[in-house]
Structure 1
Amino acid sequence: MGQELMVAVPDDMPRQPISSAWWYPFLTTVLPSAVIPVAAAVLFNLSLDTFRWANEPLHSLVEAVGSFAAILLSLFILIMRHSNQLRPGYIWVSTTLMGMGLLDGFHASISPGNTFIWLHSVATLVGGLTFALVVLPERVSSLPRLQAAPGLMAAASVTLGLGSILFPHWIPSMATEGQFTLTAELLNMVGGIGFLAAWFHFAWQDNAEDQEERVLLANHCLLFGMAAALFHFSAVWDATWWLWHVLRLLAYLVILWFFLSLYNRDVQRIRLAKQIIDHTGEAVIITDADARILDVNNAYAQITGYDRKELIGRNPRINKSGRHDRAFYEEMWAQLRSEGHWAGEIWDRRKNGELFPKWLRINAIRDEAGNPRQYVGVFSDITDKKMAEERLRNLAFYDPLTTLPNRAFFRERLGKLTSVMQRSGRQGALMFIDLDGFKDVNDSLGHAAGDRLLIEVAKRLQGRIRKSDTVARLGGDEFAMLLSDVRQPEQIGSLAEEILEVIRSPVSIDGHDVRVGASIGIAVYPDDAQTVDDLTRHADIAMYQAKDNGKNNYKFFQPEMHTRAVERLNLIHDLHRAVDARAFEIYYQPKIRLADRKLVGMEALIRWPRPDGSMTPPNVFIPIAEETGLILALGDWVLAEACRQTYEWNQQYGTHLRVAVNVSMRQFFGQDFVRNLLAVIREQEFPAHLLELEITEGLLIKDTQKAIAIMNPLRQHGISIAIDDFGTGYSSLSYLKRFPINTLKIDQSFVRELTSDSQDAAIVRAIISLSETLALKVVAEGVETPEQLEFLQQHQCQEAQGYLLGRPMPAAQFVKLLE
């Protein structure tokens, strides 16, 4: 019945379900429950007109079976209504069956007579009138006061039945000379009309969802209605009389079969629902209104570790974790009572004592009066989800290498702590810690060694803080430390000293004792700043001040540092603009061959003239250019411009001047340095042997193999390489032998005291002698007096430069030396 049959119609006509056709009720109800019984009655009257069969035991059996079925069905309907499995209108079906069942029971228990007919007729009347009430709207049938109708009917029927048996003289005459009186026929006729009204209600409803149910109920009503109609045409014990008794019995059996099938369907549905619940991955628990466990599914038992038998009848609090206070549960139950549902995260305890998180949804099942009857809880174990969230949180807020809080978490923590300190009036401090020399470790021993160093530094920093303090890795080799509740500023300085000491301690990595230092900047809350942004900015400024002051030390923020920091930011901004606009100028310092005092070349030195006419010293902007990476663009421009200018002078004046250009470490080890340099030479048509690159000793030891790999192709193309400031750094005879260099430049610090310090004079003589032995050219820097020049010339120094011989000068002035 669940799938409706369709009437065969042409394709261009709309199709409609058979159940909505006008003839369908006649086919399914009128034919079996009216036409056939009437035909049987006519046949009986024609063929068995004189038939009489007085069989009281059989009559009693038929009536008793019907009575028992009616009372049983009435109680069954009440039970199903109580669990909301039937619509409100079924209250009238239960009331009808209760009244008819009891009255028919009294009717079956007595011998034929006036009371006998009376009880039957009243049962028909009561049944028809109450069954007709199914036409009432369901909002009326669902009224709480009407739910007592079956009970009232039972009381009234028992009273009427007993009264009729005990006081038969009160009963009107129901039959005379074997024929029923008008009273008896009217009672049956009115009851029959009620049943026919109910039949019409069920048969002509156009609702495909409950079609089977309506057909059976319509047949039930029509059978009772036809039995009441045939009462008029019958006499006691004749064939028609037996016929309508059979019809009434059939009516009881039809509705009994219907409800048994309905019950079986519900049982199957419940069994299926239970199987679904038992096999679902979510745990399900059902309790009564007093929170006693009625049932749980398999998932509940698996998740909690309890057997189902252990849980039935107990309170769910046996799984209580202890992590939630009394107020939590009171709020949960308050919402359950007021809104009928609650959902949220809650922690429970398994049978083995293990705590676990779950997402729980509880719904209250209410009765018709709105009172909770049961509670259904559904939850899922979210342990894996919480672990995944924790992993994501660690990725978002913790550094994966050191497991320290990262910048985002540290900033959040800093914001909370400053708020707490503001309310409490306490003092705190922020330290920015930047490792000194970490890049050299990373470049020389590899990134893996650098990572191990960072991990060790993180452990050492964690070992120096209290539980209330926080240490974080901000990125790269930068760390931060947040100190709360600092009572004396001296504590901060002492801790900074300890941190410098533990960081300076060597770290053993792959057989190497690695040493690094640190520069620490400190800002105190609230003395130095009252906001998170100001505090971090001032700590950063102090850290850079510590670096500028020789590194491996700490500095407290001072207001004047902010001014210097602003100036530095402005300088970086101006430097970016100057690089884009190429607002630089190259100065050239002459190089003189001492043997004949002849100009043989020059060193190209970059200068930065400012719009106001001032000149920013190279020692101010070159370090910033290195730090920001602008040195790459700046270095490329200097190389190209120096080659272009030198080529132009050599062409114009027929000279063979060599130009020396300083190359920074970042530029030298930059990507495609050799290829870019050779491209500049080709573009300028500049002879490679007239270009000399000046590099520092520190560059050579940074990455020896890579430095050699870069220098070899340069030498193969004829480019000279000079070691600038020789003797001030990591001077070693081994690298003079290993590296393909051409020139040593004696640092001006040795030349300055050449005539007054015997040690400087000895060093200069040694460098000159060493150069001669290794067939290297030697150039002295910083020659400022004739005595210095005389000394260098006497000891066969080949070339010199300095203020005595010529200051650095712009191209327009230098060209006069060539004219």
Structure 2
Amino acid sequence: MGKNNNVVVLDNEIANKLSQLDTISLKDGLTGLWNKKCLADKVDDYVGGEVNSGALFIIEIDDFAKINDEYGHIMGDACLVRLAGVLSSSFRERDVAARISADEFGVFLVGTLTYKDINSIAAKLLKVSRESFEGMKLDKDFTISIGIAKAPANGSDFLSLYRKAVEALTKSKQGGKNGFMIAEENYSENKSINTDADMDIVKHLISEKDKPLGAYKVEYDGFKHIFRFISRYSDRKETGIEIILFTISKKDGSMIDPLTLSEAMFDLENIIKVSLRIGDVATKYSSCQYLVMLVGANKIKPQDVVERVVKNYSFFADKYNIVVKYDIDYKSLQEG
């Protein structure tokens, strides 16, 4: 017998929801750009094919730590969002722009590009980035530095291109900031392998510049994998898991303006990190929601955790004129 029509509709709704969640899991929550995993996958898919020409730009904000120290993280986040806007509007729709880490961005330009093309694009990007930050009340000009690797001249996979682009970026910074450098075409698979250098790049790719004090922050896709793995483990070891969904909203139920929402979510993330235990896991679920996974929840009271987060966040809730709602044991995630 065929499926009941209601079941088919439900299956379609679940499939659509999962597709939306997969897209969300590949996006950077702050900037809306693709994340590092998405960039790496798209580069590997493209340069590994028959048509594999392209260029990988690795872009860093000059003296970003000083911006955070002198002006605060809200201004630092504003700079990241502004640069993301520049990248989104400066490249073609088929190119891939992503936020790789705290202040590091990557853009993969698809297709054959001459050195003249690359020089022109990089010079324009430096100029547009600097001009875009005029009026942000920074004491000095906002600048970026760029390292560039070409495919296939510098490699035929993301890691190889990333390594060469980072080397070029380092040389560019050493030669003076607010500039760019293109990697030399000296990469060869027959070249002796520098495993120490490769390991440094791998560690850079997987490291966190700012290690969380409490809960471990991951992308949503990673959150799902951890949940499923621990669920299987907990069946044997009787290790409890509890899921909590935190949602922020205006007290009157109206929409939160985008800038306030970004700042409020940034503060909520930090409160969640320091309010939970090491070993707990958190992820941004939507523009106004955070999911928390309590590992070993049978040894604690989830309600106590919720109350601690809400209490620690109360200052920010009053500051932004918002409220924090929560749901314990988020059923739809567990069923997914």
> Does the 8 Å contact 1:433/1:480 carry over to 2?
yes
1:524 is paired with a residue of what secondary structure? strand
Residue 546 of structure 1: aligned partner? 172
2:55 is paired with a residue of what secondary structure? strand
Residue 401 of structure 1: aligned partner? 30
Partners of 1:517 and 1:461 lie apart in 2 by: 14
Partners of 2:141 and 2:31 lie apart in 1 by: 19
Residue 266 of structure 2: aligned partner? none
Residue 18 of structure 2: aligned partner? 389
Label 1:529 to 1:460 Cα distance change in 2 as closer, same or farther (>3 A): same
Label 1:431 to 1:444 Cα distance change in 2 as closer, same or farther (>3 A): same
Partners of 2:17 and 2:141 lie apart in 1 by: 38
Residue 491 of structure 1: aligned partner? 117
One-letter amino acid of the structure 2 residue matched with residue 447 of structure 1: H
> Does the 8 Å contact 2:153/2:185 carry over to 1?
no
Partners of 1:509 and 1:385 lie apart in 2 by: 46
Residue 315 of structure 1: aligned partner? none
Matched, 1:519 2:145: yes
Partners of 2:46 and 2:65 lie apart in 1 by: 33
Residue 415 of structure 1: aligned partner? 44
What RMSD over aligned residues (CA atoms) do the two structures have, in Å?
Answer: 3.3
Relative contact order, higher structure (CA 8 A, sep 6+):
2
Partners of 1:517 and 1:567 lie apart in 2 by: 33
1:409 is paired with a residue of what secondary structure? helix
CA offsets per residue over residues 199-241 of structure 1, 9 Å max, x none?
A: xxxxxxxxxxxxxxxxxxxxxxxxxxxxxxxxxxxxxxxxxxx
1:433 is paired with a residue of what secondary structure? strand
Label 1:536 to 1:511 Cα distance change in 2 as closer, same or farther (>3 A): closer
The TM-score with structure 2 as length reference comes to 0.52
2:34 is paired with a residue of what secondary structure? coil
Partners of 2:134 and 2:15 lie apart in 1 by: 38
1:480 is paired with a residue of what secondary structure? strand
Where structure 1 has 5 or more consecutive residues not aligned to the other structure, the ranges are 1-339, 342-360, 363-375, 573-627, 630-819
1:379 is paired with a residue of what secondary structure? helix
Report the CA distance between 1:390 and its aligned residue.
4.7
Report the CA distance between 1:569 and its aligned residue.
4.5
Matches within 5 A, 1:332-351: 341=2
Matched, 1:379 2:27: no
2:65 is paired with a residue of what secondary structure? helix
1:541 is paired with a residue of what secondary structure? helix
Of stretches 488-497 and 457-466 in structure 1, the one that deviates more from structure 2 is 488-497
One-letter amino acid of the structure 2 residue matched with residue 554 of structure 1: F
Partners of 2:10 and 2:98 lie apart in 1 by: 33
CA offsets per residue over residues 36-88 of structure 1, 9 Å max, x none?
A: xxxxxxxxxxxxxxxxxxxxxxxxxxxxxxxxxxxxxxxxxxxxxxxxxxxxx
Label 1:529 to 1:510 Cα distance change in 2 as closer, same or farther (>3 A): closer
Partners of 1:485 and 1:561 lie apart in 2 by: 19
Matches within 5 A, 1:445-484: 445-484=71-110
Structure 1 or 2: more helix by fraction: 1
Partners of 1:547 and 1:483 lie apart in 2 by: 22
Residue 297 of structure 2: aligned partner? none
> Does the 8 Å contact 1:433/1:521 carry over to 2?
yes
One-letter amino acid of the structure 2 residue matched with residue 486 of structure 1: T
Label 1:416 to 1:444 Cα distance change in 2 as closer, same or farther (>3 A): same
Label 1:377 to 1:393 Cα distance change in 2 as closer, same or farther (>3 A): closer
Partners of 1:529 and 1:510 lie apart in 2 by: 38
Partners of 1:439 and 1:561 lie apart in 2 by: 32
1:550 is paired with a residue of what secondary structure? coil
Report the CA distance between 1:531 and its aligned residue.
2.7
Computing the radius of gyration over CA atoms, which structure comes out larger, 1 or 2? Answer: 1
> Does the 8 Å contact 1:434/1:518 carry over to 2?
yes
Residue 557 of structure 1: aligned partner? 183
Label 1:529 to 1:569 Cα distance change in 2 as closer, same or farther (>3 A): closer
> Does the 8 Å contact 1:507/1:513 carry over to 2?
no
Residue 61 of structure 2: aligned partner? 435
Partners of 1:514 and 1:384 lie apart in 2 by: 51
Label 1:493 to 1:569 Cα distance change in 2 as closer, same or farther (>3 A): same
2:100 is paired with a residue of what secondary structure? strand
Label 1:530 to 1:460 Cα distance change in 2 as closer, same or farther (>3 A): same
Report the CA distance between 1:408 and its aligned residue.
0.6
1:476 is paired with a residue of what secondary structure? coil
One-letter amino acid of the structure 2 residue matched with residue 556 of structure 1: I
CA offsets per residue over residues 83-103 of structure 1, 9 Å max, x none?
A: xxxxxxxxxxxxxxxxxxxxx
Partners of 1:529 and 1:486 lie apart in 2 by: 14
CA offsets per residue over residues 577-628 of structure 1, 9 Å max, x none?
A: xxxxxxxxxxxxxxxxxxxxxxxxxxxxxxxxxxxxxxxxxxxxxxxxxxx9
1:482 is paired with a residue of what secondary structure? strand
Report the CA distance between 1:389 and its aligned residue.
2.7
Residue 286 of structure 2: aligned partner? none
> Does the 8 Å contact 1:507/1:514 carry over to 2?
no
CA offsets per residue over residues 472-500 of structure 1, 9 Å max, x none?
A: 11011100010111243311111111111
Report the CA distance between 1:538 and its aligned residue.
1.0
Where structure 2 has 5 or more consecutive residues not aligned to the other structure, the ranges are 201-208, 211-336
1:380 is paired with a residue of what secondary structure? helix
Label 1:493 to 1:503 Cα distance change in 2 as closer, same or farther (>3 A): same
1:475 is paired with a residue of what secondary structure? coil
State the number of aligned residues: 198
> Does the 8 Å contact 1:542/1:561 carry over to 2?
no
> Does the 8 Å contact 2:55/2:113 carry over to 1?
no
> Does the 8 Å contact 1:468/1:484 carry over to 2?
yes
Label 1:557 to 1:385 Cα distance change in 2 as closer, same or farther (>3 A): same
Partners of 1:388 and 1:399 lie apart in 2 by: 19
Partners of 1:435 and 1:566 lie apart in 2 by: 28
> Does the 8 Å contact 2:64/2:76 carry over to 1?
yes
Report the CA distance between 1:548 and its aligned residue.
1.4
> Does the 8 Å contact 1:452/1:509 carry over to 2?
no
Report the CA distance between 1:381 and its aligned residue.
3.7
Report the CA distance between 1:519 and its aligned residue.
1.5
> Does the 8 Å contact 2:97/2:106 carry over to 1?
yes
Matches within 5 A, 1:308-707: 341=2, 361=3, 378-381=7-10, 385=14, 388-390=17-19, 392-420=21-49, 423-424=50-51, 427-505=53-131, 507=133, 511-512=137-138, 515-558=141-184, 569=197
> Does the 8 Å contact 2:48/2:157 carry over to 1?
no
